[in-house]
């Protein structure tokens, strides 16, 4: 796959893919290292940030022209749908409800905080700088913010989905990805600091933490009973399900997009004429349906790990579109992101105090939205290692809801910009 890119040092996508793979391998290898230097380094710099940032340097310094590369298109059309279905098929709605109403309430409160926080942040900052609501086509600020909503409700896969559904321009997307990573990691650091004082905070608020102790035992027992080393057959089934559903979704989207475009053109404002919209909705819906079938047991063989590998390749190709020098010119976008996160945080803390929810539910419910499966387990494990899978469980629910709720947030953002 050869790309003619004027001015870039590397124009062959196969070479670029190889470089991205080496970068990802190096990040994960050093992140898993027990060497004191790397342990200290990654305690300050999140691995996920490097997966975005290092590929962005290739674009920033003209080594690769990310906008001319076909890698993002391939990753977003093939790896992203497969990633979504593999993440979502493992969702156990019954187990999530078994966490207790307060855990679920806090998770949905976090989702609500993101949905309403975006329009509030846009309206607040546009009072200072009216140009934020100006119509700049694909690079309109509200369009870029839809990708932030996708990331903060679901994760990187949902972020990429919003980029395509709302036809987000590369320039504003580059800025929003940087805002996403930095603001989200600042909030995660706050949650980790709160986790260190969980007992004192829960005692002060009068939260009942007995359910968490029961939860620890259930989680440990479940994984002891179901986890297994994947065989080649397991891995091939995981690949078959991921790309099989992706193929079906493409086939269906190729019919549905043009059908709505020709017969109901007014539905374009709701993205129903977009093939990519139908692609993502179909894989999400099929994934949810499969979570009630025996296919969900593929998670015990590592379906979400395979999905995460796809996701990080997608993350690297997204990073390849970033120009890190852009954020220096547009600090106002950081303020938009910070106000957005403050709305989310205020709502989470307020509801947690109102219903006397343990800090664990607040922190993991928030991070399951904002950080997704990449970091929700980290926050959960800060309370107790056995609780890390709870973070994954809620994060998977975030992946399932991310497409729908981020799309709805996008509609609100569009109205706010008018």
**Please, are residues 260 and 275 in contact by the beta-carbon 8 Å criterion?**
no
**Please, are residues 280 and 84 in contact by the beta-carbon 8 Å criterion?**
yes
Q: Give the integer Cα–Cα distance in Å for 209 and 203.
A: 9
pLDDT (0 to 100) of residue 259 = 93
pLDDT in tens, the chain (418 residues): 333 345 778 889 999 999 999 999 999 999 989 999 999 888 777 777 788 789 888 988 889 888 788 898 888 889 988 988 888 887 766 666 666 788 889 999 999 999 999 999 999 999 998 888 888 888 899 999 999 998 898 777 678 788 888 888 878 887 888 888 778 877 877 887 788 788 888 888 888 777 777 766 766 676 677 778 889 999 999 999 999 999 999 999 999 989 998 998 887 766 678 788 788 788 888 988 898 888 888 888 888 889 888 888 988 887 887 776 766 767 888 899 999 999 999 999 999 989 888 898 899 889 888 877 666 766 777 787 667 667 767 777 777 777 789 889 999 999 988 7
pLDDT (0 to 100) of residue 2 = 37
Helices of type H across 320-375: 326-329, 332-355, 359-370
Closest CA to 360 of 223, 197, 204, 221: 197
How many residues does this entry show for the chain? 418
Three-class DSSP category at 284? helix
CA separation, residue 7 to residues 19, 22, 58, 66 (Å): 18, 23, 13, 12
Helices of type H across 210-267: 210-226, 232-263
Q: Give the integer Cα–Cα distance in Å for 338 and 415.
A: 21
Q: Give the integer Cα–Cα distance in Å for 304 and 310.
A: 10
pLDDT (0 to 100) of residue 240 = 96
pLDDT (0 to 100) of residue 3 = 39
320 CB neighbour count, 10 Å cutoff:
25
Q: Give the integer Cα–Cα distance in Å for 143 and 162.
A: 9
Closest CA to 117 of 407, 387, 346: 346
pLDDT (0 to 100) of residue 239 = 96
pLDDT (0 to 100) of residue 68 = 83
pLDDT (0 to 100) of residue 347 = 95
Q: How much is the pTM?
A: 0.69
**Please, are residues 391 and 418 in contact by the beta-carbon 8 Å criterion?**
no
């Amino acid at each position: 796959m050869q790309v003619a890119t004027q001015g870039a040092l590397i124009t062959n996508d196969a070479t670029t893919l190889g470089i991205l793979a080496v970068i990802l391998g190096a990040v994960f290898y050093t992140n898993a290292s027990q060497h004191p230097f790397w342990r200290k380094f990654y305690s300050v710099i999140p691995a996920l940030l490097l997966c975005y940032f290092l590929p962005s340097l290739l674009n920033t310094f003209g080594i690769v022209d990310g906008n001319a590369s076909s890698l993002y298109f391939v990753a977003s059309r093939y790896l992203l749908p497969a990633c979504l279905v593999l993440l979502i098929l493992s969702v156990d709605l019954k187990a999530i409800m078994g966490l207790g109403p307060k855990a679920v309430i806090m998770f949905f409160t976090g989702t609500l905080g993101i949905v309403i926080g975006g329009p509030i942040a846009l309206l607040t900052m546009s009072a200072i700088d009216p140009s934020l609501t100006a119509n700049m086509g694909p690079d309109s600020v509200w369009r870029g913010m839809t990708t932030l909503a996708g990331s903060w409700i679901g994760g990187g896969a949902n972020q990429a989905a919003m980029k395509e559904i709302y036809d987000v321009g590369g320039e504003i997307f580059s800025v929003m990805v940087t805002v996403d990573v930095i603001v989200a990691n600042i909030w995660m650091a706050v949650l980790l600091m709160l986790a260190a004082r969980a007992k004192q905070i829960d005692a002060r608020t009068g939260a009942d933490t007995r359910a968490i102790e029961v939860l620890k035992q259930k989680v440990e027992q479940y994984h002891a009973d179901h986890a297994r080393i994947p065989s080649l057959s397991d891995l091939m089934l995981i690949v078959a399900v991921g790309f099989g559903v992706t193929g079906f979704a493409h086939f269906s989207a190729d019919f549905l997009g043009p059908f709505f475009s020709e017969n109901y053109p007014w539905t374009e404002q709701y993205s129903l004429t977009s093939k990519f919209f139908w692609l993502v909705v179909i894989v999400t819906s099929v994934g949810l349906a499969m979570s009630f079938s025996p296919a969900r047991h593929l998670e015990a063989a590592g379906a979400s790990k395979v999905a995460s590998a796809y996701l990080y390749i997608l993350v690297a190709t997204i990073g390849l579109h970033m120009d890190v020098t852009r954020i220096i010119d547009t600090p106002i976008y950081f303020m938009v992101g910070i106000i957005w996160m403050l709305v989310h945080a205020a709502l989470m803390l307020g509801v947690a105090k109102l219903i006397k929810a343990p800090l664990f539910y607040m922190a993991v419910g928030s991070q399951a939205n904002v950080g997704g499966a990449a970091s929700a387990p980290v926050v959960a494990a800060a309370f107790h290692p056995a609780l890390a899978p709870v973070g994954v469980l809620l994060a998977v629910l975030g992946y399932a809801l991310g497409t729908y709720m981020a799309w709805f947030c996008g509609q609100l953002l569009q109205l706010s910009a008018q």
